[in-house]
Chain A
């Protein structure tokens, strides 16, 4: 059974078609990436999923059920900005949020004992959220999203504005969660490389789906591979009769796919003593699909 199923979803605000007839599904335990620039319709879709916004038309099912107050229990959301009370401690925040899901003190303590080792909560539990570092805050946010043991974790641009170290910490935590709790992860992000590890990617533009596939298939379809050669003369490259460009101390040749690279290496083995082959990235995919540059 799919964790999330969306069929012909539409959300119009008067003349503005924020989401215009989109359909996709997210499998159980899948890592799903939902990409698009600001205003593409990502947040509106999430808002509908979370039951915060009523849809104009279409079908949205979570865990096989139409959206109601019970489907909210299946979702945990990490927002772009921390939405915990800064003046309260992490524990006070978590205990307030747990009560919203009907969890009493015993249930909260049990859940905290499960989450603590995973998110290293012990050291921050009694500290006010406003006094935590960026990484600690994000851990607290993830703990809040998971406090009621949801089946689906929605990460709404969770690393925007974070430094590289904190971003890595966040992704390490999400990786651990997926491995240990087999949770479905629904990610929206501006950082294309974060979507590269997803099982399934949907690219949204202007409220419509522009691409829906695995990262590998998207890269094969939309991105080009590149081979960079070092320690070769430009004259030798000209003999290949392929377009190339100078990059640093080497030359980069753009190729259709990896098999073309293999063919080229086998045909001219003497040229390829120092080289690297790089597959096209999600940023290229995004650019090719939407004509808009994603952040890298």
Chain B
């Protein structure tokens, strides 16, 4: 099974990377999105930072640093889920082209095949997201680096966890898709909607309370919140060095979703990890159950 799995994972990754019509747009879209974020939304977020700290003078560098942390965390949190859907097109294409049938006449089991798609999707998504995160780090460094080493590694861990969630979610949805058009429609819907519902494009704190509480039932929101916290937290904490009171700093963290609120109560960081990990585990379980069902189906 090990040889089969390794070979299938290698093949799935190769097929994705050799399809230039899928690979290049997937690689470029986060970078284009980063540019668009900076060009079109940069000022909006800078103004938001200043408005939260109204009555206090924040240095331009710190405003820039907080805004860059927000932009990069928003970008990678969206990519972790949307790219996973794109990467899973290999699985759908295999159903459409009959390649899956060829695999299934060999001694490879449906479960091994499903696991190979899962691992390949995770690896491809991680690679693309870390390219985006790398570009984001360059932008953040240019804007003013306030990221501590623990926050750096925690952000990487957040992203890996969020990719696991995105991979499991996309694997479940794509397992029901039987056409290329179907996967394209899903990709388009997810790309358009996910950024809003996970709190990447707009802070949840800026939404009406009922909508905010509703969106807090979606596990991806917690992953975005963790990325906001670890990529912006250092810059927000640095506000203290400019004499900004603790209450304003906490208000900034709530205003930019570094501290998430669920029905009016702050959600602790450990709870965010718990929700995200539990969601990933449950979705993974559903994936396994689906493939167990497919394996038994005549």
Convert A58-99 into 0s and 1s, putting 1 for each residue whose CB lies closer than 8 angstroms to a CB of B: 000000000001101101010101011101100010011101
| Contacting residue for B104 out of A52, A95, A104, CB 8 A | A52
Q: Please, what's the 1-or-0 string for B82-124, where 1 marks a CB less than 8 Å from any CB in chain A?
A: 0000000000000001110111111111000000000000000
Q: Known contacts A81-B98, A85-B15, A102-B3; decide if A96 and B105 are in contact (CB<8 Å).
A: no
Task: Give A55 to B106 CA distance when docked, in angstroms.
Answer: 18
Give every chain B residue within 8 A of A100 (Cβ-Cβ). 4, 7-8, 103, 106-108
Contacts of A52 in B (CB 8 A): 101, 104-105
Interface residues of B in 1-47 (CB under 8 A from A): 3-4, 6-8, 10-11, 14-15, 18-19
Within 8 A of A (CB), among B260-285: none
Are B107 and A70 neighbours in the complex by a CB distance under 8 Å? yes
With a 10 A CB-CB cut-off, give which of B6, B14, B19, B105 has the most chain A CB atoms: B105
Q: Could you tell me the distance between the alpha carbons of A168 and B8 in the complex, rounded to whole angstroms?
A: 34
Kindly state the separation between the CA atoms of A56 and B298 in the bound complex, as whole angstroms: 9
Q: Using an 8 Å CB-CB cutoff, how does the interface string of A136-152 with B read, 1 for contact, 0 for none? A: 00000000100010000
Query: Are A72's CB and B298's CB within 8 A?
Result: no
CA distance A102 to B7 in the complex (A): 10
On whether the beta carbons of B298 and A54 are closer than 8 Å, the reply is yes
| In the assembled complex, A51 has its CB within 8 A of some CB on chain B | yes
A294–B35 CA distance with the chains assembled, in angstroms: 61
Q: CA A73 – CA B98 in complex, angstroms?
A: 19
Determine if B7 and A96 form an interchain contact, defined as CB atoms under 8 angstroms apart. yes
In the complex, which residues of chain A have a beta carbon less than 8 angstroms from the beta carbon of B109? 69
Contact B107 A73 (CB under 8 A): yes
B11 contact set on A, CB distance < 8 A? 85, 88, 92, 96
A175 CB to nearest chain B CB (Å):
23
Write out the residue numbers on chain B whose beta carbons fall within 8 Å of the beta carbon of A70.
Answer: 107
Query: Once the chains bind, are A101 and B105 in contact (CB under 8 Å)?
Result: no
CA A99 to CA B4, docked complex, whole Å = 6
Residues of A within 8 A of B14 (CB): 85, 87-88, 92
CB under 8 Å from chain B, chain A span 97-140: 97, 99-102, 104
Q: A85's closest neighbor in chain B, by CB?
A: B15
Q: Is A174 an interface residue (CB 8 A)?
A: no
Per the bound structure, the CA–CA distance linking A95 and B4 in Å amounts to 11
B190 to chain A, nearest CB (A): 25
CB-CB contacts below 8 Å: B29-86 with A: none
Q: Could you tell me the dominant secondary structure of chain B's interface residues?
A: helix
The answer to whether A83 and B101 touch across the interface, beta carbons within 8 angstroms, is yes
Whether A50 sits at the interface, judged by CB under 8 Å, is yes
Tell me which residues across on chain A come within 8 A of B6, comparing CB atoms: 99
Asked whether, in the complex, the Cβ of A97 is within 8 Å of the Cβ of B106, the reply is: yes
Q: Which residues of A contact B4 (CB under 8 A)?
A: 99-100, 102
Give CA–CA (A136, B104) in the complex, Å. Answer: 24
Interface string of A231-262 (1 = CB under 8 A from B): 00000000000000000000000000000000
Closest Cβ neighbor of A104 among chain B residues: B3
Q: Which residues of A contact B105 (CB under 8 A)?
A: 50-52, 72, 75, 77
Question: Does A53 sit within 8 A of B, measured CB to CB?
Answer: yes
**A218 → chain B closest CB, angstroms:** 29
Q: Once the chains bind, are B18 and A87 in contact (CB under 8 Å)?
A: yes
Distance from B284 Cβ to chain A, minimum over Cβ atoms (Å): 24
Chain B residue nearest to A11 in the complex (CB):
B298
The answer to whether residues A85 and B99 also contact, given A96-B7, A99-B3, A102-B3 and a CB cut-off of 8 A, is yes
Q: Is the CB of A101 within 8 A of B7?
A: no
Q: How far is the CA of A95 from the CA of B10 in the complex (A)?
A: 11
Minimum CB–CB distance from A105 to chain B (whole Å) comes to 11
Question: In the complex, which residues of chain A have a beta carbon less than 8 angstroms from the beta carbon of B8?
Answer: 96, 99-100
Cβ A83 vs Cβ B18 within 8 A: no
Least CB distance from A13 to B in Å reads: 9
For B99, the chain A residues whose CB sits under 8 A away are 83-85
Docked CA distance A99–B15 (Å):
16
Q: How far is the CB of B257 from chain A (nearest CB, A)?
A: 41
Given contacts A75-B105, A96-B8, could you give 11 more A-B pairs where the C-beta distance is less than 8 Å?
A54-B296, A54-B298, A73-B107, A79-B98, A84-B102, A87-B18, A96-B7, A101-B107, A102-B107, A104-B3, A144-B102
Offer 21 A-B interface pairs, CB within 8 angstroms, sorted by A: A50-B104, A52-B101, A52-B105, A54-B296, A70-B107, A72-B105, A75-B105, A77-B102, A77-B105, A85-B15, A87-B18, A88-B14, A88-B15, A92-B11, A97-B102, A97-B106, A99-B6, A100-B4, A101-B106, A102-B107, A144-B102
Q: Which residues of A contact B (CB under 8 A)?
A: 11, 50-56, 69-70, 72-73, 75, 77, 79, 81, 83-85, 87-88, 92, 95-97, 99-102, 104, 144, 148
User: 10 closest Cβ contacts across the A-B interface?
Assistant: A54-B298, A99-B7, A87-B18, A83-B102, A100-B106, A96-B11, A50-B105, A83-B98, A69-B107, A72-B107
